[in-house]
Structure 1
């Protein structure tokens, strides 16, 4: 099957519209340990608050805006009203495999079992409440990181790396399939074209993505709509 162009993943995100423990409306602060992320605003207004090597910043969002950030950037989406984004993630498959780490307080991050318990959502009718509890815990840690400056951010990066360390062998296999293989195919195609040969052109095809059925999933920042390949 053909992967999405560039080895990326695309998600339709409706940002949460409930208030966190500090009164701000929006999603759970977190970072990605290996993947870059882009926001394309398609409706509503709001902002994304970030903590990175550049310090703390607030970036306004309105329809037509496009913003992206690299791994290690802590980000928190703020919903100013009806905020809806098209989210583009590099390394398709890695975010779904646990590439993200919530900004929980340090004592939770230091205990893998406690982190797992805090990050995992239950099935059933209590999920909406669990999403808010998880977000409030992440906001608590985010505010502490904001106060702590560069030293606190560096410590969080170390904690995040330790949390995901056991998953890297699996991630490498995902990356080889979703990113490295398409890149290698492009390399081979350029070699063929340089030699005056059609290469892969004769095997050209079209793939349609189909929307996943049912309600939107509960994500870190909002309700998610994803697509899968139509293999009929």
Structure 2
């Protein structure tokens, strides 16, 4: 049971290290973000305990780098920041648990053991259509080396189209997937968002992958040069 603690409070880190060793853990400690990121990259851990506010490189950055490397080691965020947006951001970036300071040592141990029993979960597989790739874990869309910034609605529509690549989907099907039942607008809203998507995923790259099938709907295909 090997874990990594990345926290810049030296006294707290040492206290945790001693206590966790007594609980049967093998513990590595880093007191800055750069060292913590390097250790996480170089060594296999069962759990990583990661503070948010760190010198050199903050916890959000380290978490993003870990997940970008397809490293799914469970991460428990340990921080003095208790805002709901901070917690939401941590989970969005791929954290598995979140504990605010001050905390009970026994609660920490219980959560660590729970994460270890759960193990590194299998994460969503990226969806690829030609050079277009969607990463469900990080809500990130790229075409080649270019990152494509999408709104939440654009992302949901693109994900649905990519999941049904090479298949014609109707406006109604897109609406059922991207809007809730309370939406009372026209199906023409789909045309608007398809236009937004084309300007982001096709036009800058000289492609025509998000195609209109007249009278039927839309189809997303692999890289096709624009006429």
Point out the structure with the larger strand share.
Answer: 1
TM (normalized to structure 2)? Answer: 0.26
TM (normalized to structure 1)? Answer: 0.25
Indicate the structure whose relative CO is greater, using CA pairs within 8 Å and at least 6 residues apart.
Answer: 1
